[in-house]
Structure 1
Amino acid sequence: MFPVERQQKIIDLLMVKKVLKISELTEELKISVDTLRRDLNLLTKQGKIEKIYGGVKLIEARFGESTIDERMVSHINEKEVIAQKCSELIYDGDCIFIDSGSTTYQIAKYIKNKKKLTVVTNSIPVVLELINSDVELIIIGGKVRHNEQSVVAYDYLFNFSELNIVKAFICTSGITIEKGISDYNLEEANTRKKMIELSKEIYVAADSTKFGKNVTIGIASLDKIHYIITDQNVNKNLIDAFKKTNTSLIIAKF
């Protein structure tokens, strides 16, 4: 197991139990105390865990769903190259869905000059980015999530079945081969499920930190996802593993 995989395993274990003894971790991970201490020192420096007497605990404030403002500035280079790659897959005349999220928001910056493009979105930042362009905008009606700057749909307001959405660009908080894509918020997840159902091609735009995580709410299994667009920092073992699935992994390079 690579150090980064081991460190993620430590976090995953702490997400379940919150506090673990050193002896529990060495036994679970089958590693020496010295190797474990190196991992724990790194995770402590990153602010992800806190050392306590005889063990470690999760710093819970750093987990769960961060705000859209926090995510707008994290991993920005990766998100921009992913967005550029997504924009190359959007053509004049398309009707597309752009999800709420910091990665999909970046797509809006690169499609302003597309001709006869229709964008369906639940993202207020996407609307503000495209409001002065020639792109036709359709915004989902529903409740505004202030922290996320998004609109989450309710069934009685969601009437887009007549739209011919060619491509949906979806965000996610977690991706695993076994469970597919997942998110922290039920309302966001339900909106994404609906757009996946309505759209012909499904693209998940997610930086490499999202892989290996299965968070609170399941959105869709991989068999419903046609493409995942990510950055070049994704683990090579994952690239090989995705070759055995029907979901194409597209690597956006710097």
Structure 2
Amino acid sequence: MRHTRRETIRELLNNDGYVIAQELVAKFRVSSETIRRDLEKMEQEGDAQRVHGGAISVRRTVNESAYQLRQQDHAPEKHAIAKAAAAMISDGDTVLIAPGTTTLEVATFLHDKSNVTIITNSLPVAMELANSPGINVFCLGGHIRGDDYSASGVMAADNLDIFNADKLIMSIGGISPDRGLTDYRMEESALLRLFINKVDCVIGIADHSKFGVVSRYNICPAFRLKHLITDSGTPEILYKPYQESGVQVHVVPFDI
């Protein structure tokens, strides 16, 4: 019975990304202590991470999907998140924008800003904003990836040295309470760490599918974020740990 119960909990974690302890108590008609032991055991086995009120899935991923496919994934959520992120940019700001399908969407909302300087290693972001009269665009050089047209490597890092910035907007490949922010690519992760060290305000953007995901390369602890923007499809149990660590979490509705 215990084995069957834990297998069912694993299925719930895999399907939903989280479980709530009191719901499990009611579902299986067992005590809170029994569910606590189940979740402790699953955490020890690496299947879950316990958080206040339940547990979240720890999904380890190595490879990311193609850029064109990522543009289509969760498109309504990304649109809403991007609009909220763009609203955090004020006239006169100097902003680092990291590559990503959602950060490119952010760029589309910046055309009417005034006296804003954008520093990016994303060619699509630079091209989106190059003709905007109120925006100065600086594109970092380096080795260009063919799938998303982003620059990385030593040259990009050297180019970054001459700049200072107020804010960073970065897409999050994976976020979990214990591992923080992670990414699929080594060079991109290294450059993101440099980006983060350049600013006081880090704005992380992640749709609900990125929570509980652990990718291959570490970027930084989650508390390094000042703002975390996600969509209303993200259950509170998934983002509450970041609120408790001092991150300002913004949950935005989206239209299907």
1:252 is matched with 252
1:55 is matched with none
Please tell me whether residue 225 in structure 1 is matched to residue 225 in structure 2: yes
1:80 is matched with 79
Question: What is the TM-score normalised by the length of structure 2?
Answer: 0.74
Offset, 1:243? 2.8
Code of the aligned partner of 1:128: M
Secondary structure, counterpart of 1:243 in structure 2: helix
Please tell me whether residue 115 in structure 1 is matched to residue 114 in structure 2: yes
Code of the aligned partner of 2:13: E
Please tell me whether residue 238 in structure 1 is matched to residue 238 in structure 2: yes
> CA, structure 1 residues 221+171, in 2 after alignment: closer, same or farther (shift >3 Å)?
same
Considering Cα pairs closer than 8 Å and 6+ residues apart, tell me whether 1 or 2 has the greater RCO.
Answer: 2
Deviations along 1:64-96, one digit per CA (max 9) or x if unpaired, are: 111211111111110010010001100101000
Rounded to whole Å, the distance in 2 between the matches of 1:123 and 1:156 is 11
> CA, structure 1 residues 92+209, in 2 after alignment: closer, same or farther (shift >3 Å)?
same
2:138 is matched with 138
Code of the aligned partner of 1:92: D
8 A contact 1:68–1:149 mirrored in 2: no
Q: Percent identity?
A: 27
Deviations along 1:195-227, one digit per CA (max 9) or x if unpaired, are: 001112101111110000111101111132211
8 A contact 1:79–1:207 mirrored in 2: yes
Q: CA RMSD in A?
A: 2.4
1:14 is matched with none
Offset, 1:185? 0.4
Offset, 1:141? 1.1
Secondary structure, counterpart of 1:92 in structure 2: coil
8 A contact 1:140–1:153 mirrored in 2: no
Count of aligned pairs between the two proteins = 205
> CA, structure 1 residues 157+244, in 2 after alignment: closer, same or farther (shift >3 Å)?
closer
Rounded to whole Å, the distance in 2 between the matches of 1:223 and 1:157 is 24
Secondary structure, counterpart of 2:172 in structure 1: coil
Rounded to whole Å, the distance in 1 between the matches of 2:12 and 2:91 is 41
